[in-house]
A = this chain, B = another copy of it.
Amino acid sequence: MFDEVDTPAVLIDLDVAEANIDRYQAHCDAHGLRLRPHIKTHKLPMLARRQIAAGAIGITCQKVSEAEAMISEGGIDDVLITYNILGPAKLARLRTLAGRVPLSVVTDSAAAAEGLSAAFVDAPTPLRVLVECDTGAERCGVTTPEAAADLASRIAALPGLQFAGLMTYPPAGREREVQDWLARAKAAVEARGLPVSVISSGGTPGMWQAQDVPAATEYRIGTYVYNDRSVQARGLCTWEDCALSVLATVVSVPAPDRAIIDAGSKVLTSDLLGLEGYGHVLGRPDIRITALSEEHGTLRAGRIGLTVGERVRIVPNHACVVTNMLDRVELVRGAHHQQTAPVTARGQVW
């Protein structure tokens, strides 16, 4: 299995990734949703371009370094960074990027907005800023529609900034509450005389219900491009829809019920996402990955039936973090290895 690739390796099946991109783009097209994929999952300019070619209106990034890679190497020209950007170093880099392509960011505080304003006060065009809203996920975001309107007014009043709309990372499965929250926030902002041109929602867990939040004008998703064991466990994809897998070699079979592979937490990561075990061995649903040390993974089954040197292919719990572990991935189509690709946007501090 992929003898030309040494292990452990992260394999990306482009046939599967492209089918995933096209399937969800078709869903968005059918429902009149604008799609803005989050590239944190793949960090590959070529896949960002493929998402745009399929019909995405732009991309989402979480870090300035991701946006830099996608703009410089991917030629992407519409980027939303869904993060509070703070501090002189990142603000200077943001200003440089904003001079090159249409760029939007989010914020959930006056303090962060004031930092953005100071950096863009003399920019040729104002920076587009969305207000991040906490619609129930309890991460970042203003916590009430009225607070969203207050911050929108503050942004609109700050030099160098343009209030551009609302953004949320919603809790999955609570579409009705999210819709209600966003509709109330939109009304509150409009009552201040400010137009709300963009309302950005997202998340792979709720992707097939995106249309149930009609207040949203665009949808952001990352994991859908690869899928993973967490998405499969939610019933949102099959193993055949998983584009990312880890190719590993059995390095030891110490007991009839146990084998050790050369992929540990430095490849598969310790992310559980509520699951038991650290991944799914394709073709061997009886095997559990019960423990990871840094460079070893422990496989257990009633009868392990593996030999030293044999290779296994594993769908990890969480594709987005596995992408981030190695400097390169192996692009394949079915059983055919295509090329090695550098993971352009990984390993950067910010």
- Enumerate chain A interface residues (CB-CB to B < 8 A): 6-9, 40, 62-63, 83-84, 86-87, 89-90, 108-109, 111-112, 115, 134, 138-143, 249, 251-255, 258, 260, 262, 265-266, 269-272, 291, 293-296, 298, 307-309, 320-321, 324-328, 346-350
Contacts and interface: CB of A to CB of B under 8 A. Distances in A.
Contacts of A90: 6
A308 B7 contact: no
Nearest to A169: B293
A143 B251 contact: no
Given A139-B296, A270-B271, A272-B270, A249 B7 contact: no
Given A111-B307, A266-B321, A255 B139 contact: no
Given A295-B63, A326-B349, A271 B260 contact: no
Total identical chains: 2
B134 A295 contact: no
Contacts of A84: 251-252, 308
Contacts of A307: 111
Contacts of A291: 139
Given A249-B86, A269-B269, A308-B111, A254 B140 contact: yes
A149 to B, nearest CB: 16
B6 A249 contact: no
A120 B346 CA distance: 37
A97 B141 CA distance: 53
Contacts of A63: 295
B140 A296 contact: yes
A177 to B, nearest CB: 17
Given A83-B295, A269-B270, A349 B9 contact: yes
B349 A309 contact: no
